[in-house]
Amino acid sequence: MEKLLQTGTTTVGLTVQNAVIMGTERRVTMDHFIAHKDGKKLHQIDTHAAMTIAGLVGDAQVLVRYMKAELELYRMQRKFNMPIDAAATLLSNILNQSKYYPYMVQLLVGGFDGKPHLYSVDAAGGAVEDVYVSTGSGSPFVYGVLESMYSKDMKLDDAIDMVIRGITAAKSRDSASGGMIDIATITATDGFKQIPEEDILARIKKLKLNL
């Protein structure tokens, strides 16, 4: 059953001067059926790194477990975190080695290792670094917001609001995206920091958006 659960999904990642912001909604679908309303699609994989998942839930969860284990082992052995480009390459290699029986996923890997990094990684192992990216069926609606509002010099607080606007736009038009929004920031000082649900609800109210 788990292999059939498929996230239509909206995920977003972007970088600003000294931070990475990553966000998702929570709806999990199986064709046109809403299989779960509170799916976890945003995962911490190291003290300063995170992943978002889109695709088959079983495949994505296995990859999250692989990455958590590998990055923790690297940190324990070397006493410092794996660089984000190395983490993206590791995930890319895992996916590429299975391309003839692929993991059906589309992933974002982001983090801070002296500066912010964000990678989009596809099912065949292609990894592309960018300043902002969105995946899943709701991504076209998110890009409409990102293209018009994003600036690399924008403040962290404004970038969080922009992610909320983008995901909300996707939820309004994409039937496979819905539910509560999860957002995390990654910075040098705080590492991975999930924004509390009540703070996100307050921002949604302030922006006069519909949940």
Q: Give the Cα separation of 22 and 12 in Å (integer).
A: 6
Structure tokens at 210: 């519909």
> Among the options 7, 9, 52, 185, which is catalytic?
9
Give the C-alpha separation, 79 to 69, whole Å.
Answer: 15
Which residues on adjacent β-strands are paired with residue 187?
A: 19, 191
* Annotated catalytic residue 9: yes
Cite the DSSP H helix spans in 26-176: 57-78, 84-96, 139-149, 156-173
d(CA 21, CA 74): 24
For residue 12, list its beta bridge partners. 23, 134
Pair 54, 60: CB distance under 8 Å: yes
Judge whether 142 and 11 are in contact, CB under 8 Å.
Answer: no
User: Each residue of 43-58: b (16+ CB within 10 Å) or e?
Assistant: bbbbebbbbbbbbbbb
Positions marked catalytic: 9
